[in-house]
């Protein structure tokens, strides 16, 4: 994947918005909606694929496919010099859906999706064994009300 990033313009955002609304929307339909040629849509789309702006995935509803335990885990790392190593190890876990370094009380923020609470307990135990993980604090999500991609209109 070519990671050279080009500046997105209004047409690129319009194409992305169409795809966020319906990821299976054809280039023909997008071109008609945006009043441009199919070739223009295809070229713009391929550039965004090549530079990593957009990825094509099948996004599933975690609950409907069997993930019954969804949690946020705050990870405290000691010594602080191990943050990057710890993050790289955590990123390899299949259960991890989100991972970020944070400022504030804890060092890493991890969201995980597990089959059930027993699976979550095993995950937290495995996480705690990583060298540098000093402490974890787990918050279970009882019910997720919104799980969405960012609204591109916020950038206008």
pLDDT of 2 over the 70 cut: no
Encoded tokens for 35:
């009043």
Proportion of the chain above pLDDT 90, given as a percent: 79
**In angstroms, rounded to a whole number, what is the distance separating the alpha carbons of residues 73 and 91?**
13
Show Cβ contacts of residue 128 under 8 Å, excluding neighbours closer than 6 positions.
136
Q: What mean pLDDT, rounded, does the chain reach?
A: 93
Encoded tokens for 12:
């690129």
Q: Band of the pLDDT at 4, cuts 50, 70, 90?
A: low
**φ, ψ for residue 112, nearest 5 deg:** -130, 155
Q: Give the CA dihedral 10, 11, 12, 18, nearest 10 degrees.
A: 110
Proportion of the chain above pLDDT 70, given as a percent: 96
Instruction: Locate the DSSP E strands across 5-148.
Output: 69-77, 96-101, 108-114, 133-141
- The mean-pLDDT minimum among 43-47, 82-86, 118-122, 148-152 falls in 148-152
pLDDT score, position 33:
97
Mean pLDDT within 126-131: 97
Q: Which domains does the chain have, with CATH numbers?
A: 10-50 (1.10.10), 69-141 (3.30.70.920)
pLDDT in tens, 29-66: 999 999 999 999 999 999 999 999 999 888 888 888 99
pLDDT score, position 18:
95
Mean pLDDT within 11-16: 96
Q: Band of the pLDDT at 5, cuts 50, 70, 90?
A: low
pLDDT score, position 30:
97
């Amino acid at each position: 994947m070519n990671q050279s990033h080009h500046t997105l313009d209004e047409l690129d955002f319009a194409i992305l918005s169409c795809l966020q609304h319906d990821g299976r929307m054809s280039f023909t339909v997008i071109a008609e909606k945006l009043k441009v040629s199919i070739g223009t849509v295809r070229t713009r789309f391929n550039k965004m694929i090549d530079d990593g702006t957009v990825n094509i995935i099948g996004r599933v509803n975690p609950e409907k496919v069997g993930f019954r335990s969804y949690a946020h885990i705050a990870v405290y790392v000691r010594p602080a010099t191990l943050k990057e190593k710890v993050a790289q190890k955590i990123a390899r876990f299949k259960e991890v859906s989100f991972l970020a370094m944070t400022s504030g009380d804890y060092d890493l923020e991890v969201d995980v999706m597990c089959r059930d609470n027993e699976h979550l307990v095993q995950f937290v135990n495995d996480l705690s064994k990583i060298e540098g993980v000093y402490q974890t604090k787990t918050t279970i999500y009882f019910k997720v009300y919104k799980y969405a991609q960012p609204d591109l209109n916020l950038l206008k």
